[in-house]
A and B are shown apart, each in its own frame.
Chain A
Amino acid sequence: MYLLKRILMLIPLMLGITLITFTVIHLAPGEPVEMQMAMNPKVGKDARERLRKFYGLDRPLHEQYVTWVGKLARLDLGRSFSPDNRPVLDKIKERLPVTLSLNIIALLLEFGLAIPIGIMAATHRDTWLDKGITVFVFVGFAVPTFWLALLLMYFFGVKLNWLPISGLHSLGSDNFGTLRYLWDLAKHLVMPVMVASFGSLAGLSRYMRSTMLNVIGQDYITTARAKGLSERVVIYKHALRNALLPLITLLGFSIPGLIGGSVIFETIFAIPGMGQLFYQGAMSRDYPVVMGILVIGAFLTLIGNLIADVCYALADPRIRQS
């Protein structure tokens, strides 16, 4: 019942997403046809009209919107305006796995580090350890990710020459054996993953610290201590499970940030993912690509939030009751 209600709620939200996407893109004064004109002054007025007709840009906006949404419902995102003229969905399909897997690795790393850091800060409250972690968190909040990428590139790529600074594979990696191929890929992934996870590591560990402090202050923790349980059992068995609950929601919320952040590190490290595709699409005013990625990015967030809420309901019976 709960699930069904939540899924029904998605429909108006999805419509809203398409409406905003469409409006944002059509706010533009110029049209993609204009771009092609500007590059090629020889195109005459006739050709221009034909182009407009070909892309359906000559019809009123609301008609364009309805056709677009109709196609969207059948998973047809249209064809790219770029010279290759391929379906946008195909383009996204080949890019999405790269971005998703990179972000999932980053997410795992982030949570794997932030949870222990947060616990440590909370259990050692107001000691030098907690203060050190707080300083790290504040600096972490303030570091621009692209600058961090530059610094890493300078030290590990240029100075030490340990890691490759761009792409996912070395030249000629197709001929490598499986092991060497994977090793090569892993080496290419180290810096992008570090940059991708660093962004929210700080915020996440701070959040973990505060939820943990919150839980430790509860009466049942005092009870657990009073009945003589060891501190380790109290923290890791009684407190941690409750402190982890809010993180589930956070997981859902971190999706747009991760996808959005991918523009920066994919551009810097020349990784062929969604972020790079979006950047290139936006720069060349390739509307179908831009709209397609905006919509898919927002849908992914929506679904991520739904999954997070469902997980929360599964983990916490109090939510299911209400």
Chain B
Amino acid sequence: MAFKHTYFYAIFWQRFKRNHLAMSGACVVAALFVISLLAQVIAPWEPNAINAWSVLSPPSWQHWFGTDELGRDVLSRIIFGAQISLKVGFVAVGIAVSIGTVVGLVSGYYSGLVDATLMRFVDIMLCFPAFFLILAVITVREPSIWNIMIVIGLTGWMGVARLVRAETLSIREMDYILAARCIGCSDARIIFRHILPNAISPVLVSASLGVAGAILTESALSFLGIGVLPPTPSWGNILTSGKDYIEFAWWLSLFPGLSILITVLAYNLLGEGIRDALDPRVKR
């Protein structure tokens, strides 16, 4: 078994390595992790330090990405904003993937009434414009980074649930599941020990794409003023001031937007790369 697993990952890595786009995505993601971890060290300025003498100054050697309306260094704020994006992306997707996986496993394994009920619930959830639902919950509660993560997670699990259910349905019919049942394994053991490990790889793909989506949603919410609240820097709320000063400070709009673009692009490339590497039909 152990041997088989290493073999699987070796093949996966070999295929993934050859995909240059996916590798560059992975490198950017890794770089973002390093930047977030070392934000304190590499940020050239204190992200919340107000400087009345350099309000809205264009990019220069001192402030590479210029300064905002309070004279704060945009580059430093973007570096600290990376921390927020990463946190939101991972926690939200963690919640979505956990719920989706459990719902998918239970639904696929038990089928019948349980399956029908859960899948109708998924259908209903998919009817809501997700952004409306998120907006409604965040405003009736209060905007905070935790609420955002939870709400994005709670509204994003349906795709994963459908995916895992489909996998479970086919795995359930395998001989080794029958064998497990014969030697008296409990349902829980079959589901989590035997089905889950075999159903999980497609989830990796949607998790990676999900992080990208969560980062986009967070930035849109922060941009609308109901996400991460100032003075905590997030890419979205820097863009809010970008909008207010769009007539004379292009750098306030350009750089945070580019950061979102590059990050989301990297996660998407990573996700697609994982998909191709997992798919035996794709040959490169």
Chain A residues with a Cβ under 8 A of chain B: 12-13, 16-17, 20, 24-25, 27-30, 138-139, 141-147, 150-151, 153-154, 158, 256-257, 259-261, 263-264, 267-268, 278-279, 282-283, 285, 290, 293-294, 297-299, 301-302, 305
Contact = CB atoms under 8 A, between A and B. Distances in A.
Contact of B269 (A25, A30, A138): A138
Given A24-B140, A142-B264, A264-B131, 12 more contacts: A13-B127, A16-B124, A17-B124, A20-B125, A27-B140, A28-B140, A138-B265, A142-B261, A150-B253, A282-B136, A290-B139, A301-B127
30 contacts: A13-B123, A13-B124, A24-B140, A28-B140, A30-B140, A141-B212, A141-B265, A142-B261, A142-B264, A146-B223, A150-B239, A150-B242, A153-B246, A158-B246, A256-B126, A256-B130, A257-B129, A259-B132, A260-B130, A260-B131, A263-B135, A264-B131, A264-B223, A264-B224, A282-B135, A282-B139, A282-B140, A290-B140, A301-B129, A305-B127
A261 B131 CA distance: 7
B269 A290 contact: no
A168 to B, nearest CB: 19
Contacts of A150: 239, 242-243, 246, 253, 257
Q: Looking at B124, B223, B247, which has the most chain A CB atoms within 10 Å of its CB? A: B124
B279 to A, nearest CB: 13
Would you call the interface of chain A mostly helix, strand, loop, or mixed?
helix
B36 to A, nearest CB: 19
B37 interface: no
B137 interface: yes
A170 to B, nearest CB: 19
B189 to A, nearest CB: 32
B128 A297 contact: yes
B260 interface: yes
B136 A138 contact: no
A161 B133 CA distance: 36
B69 to A, nearest CB: 16
Contacts of A16: 120-121, 124
Would you call the interface of chain B mostly helix, strand, loop, or mixed?
helix
Nearest to B141: A28
What 6 A-B pairs come out closest when comparing CB atoms?
A260-B129, A260-B131, A28-B140, A147-B257, A142-B264, A16-B124
B127 A298 contact: yes
Contacts of B220: 144-146, 264
B243 A294 contact: no
Interface in B129-159: 129-133, 135-137, 139-141
B250 interface: yes
A12 B124 CA distance: 9
Contacts, number: 135
Contacts of B137: 24, 27
A260 B220 CA distance: 12
B234 interface: no
A45 B109 CA distance: 54
A141 to B, nearest CB: 5
A118 B139 CA distance: 39
A153 to B, nearest CB: 6
A112 B28 CA distance: 34
Interface string B230-250: 000000000100110011001
Contact of B133 (A142, A294, A302): A294
A278 B140 CA distance: 13
B68 to A, nearest CB: 15
Contacts of B264: 141-142, 144
B86 to A, nearest CB: 16
B265 A29 contact: no
B124 A285 contact: no
Contacts of A13: 120, 123-124, 127
A142 B265 contact: yes
Q: Looking at B120, B128, B269, which has the most chain A CB atoms within 10 Å of its CB? A: B128
Contacts of B226: 282-283
Contacts of A282: 135-136, 139-140, 226
Q: Looking at B129, B223, B264, which has the most chain A CB atoms within 10 Å of its CB? A: B129
Q: Looking at B124, B127, B216, B261, which has the most chain A CB atoms within 10 Å of its CB? A: B127
